[in-house]
Amino acid sequence: MSICNEDAIVSTVIPDDKKLSIPNQIELTGEIWDSIVAEGQPIGLTDQQRAELRRRRAAHQSAPAEAVAWNEIRRTKSEE
């Protein structure tokens, strides 16, 4: 459930005739995220996010040998 209307925010901040390119949207998103982090406020998790983290931790604890390191994933993806 969203607490705000994203379309209204986007149309207020960025008029339709001034749409940003995908790279510029990504850059803007990064800048917004950086400003949120700079506030120093803890970013809480939803109940669903906590449940997912518990599920993933339990899955890892029950079969740790199935884990794949990030560098292995990156290597595999770069070979594709």
Cβ neighbours around 20 below 10 Å, total: 13
Res. 63 pLDDT band, cuts 50 70 90: very high
d(CA 56, CA 54): 5
3-state class of 42 per DSSP? coil
What is the pTM (predicted TM-score) of this model? 0.44
3-state class of 52 per DSSP? helix
Q: What is the pLDDT of residue 4?
A: 57
Per-residue pLDDT at 15 exceeds 70: no
28 within 8 A of 20, measured Cβ to Cβ: yes
Res. 48 pLDDT band, cuts 50 70 90: very high
Q: Residue 13: what are its φ and ψ, rounded to 5°?
A: -80, -40
Which residue has 């008029």 as its token pair? 15
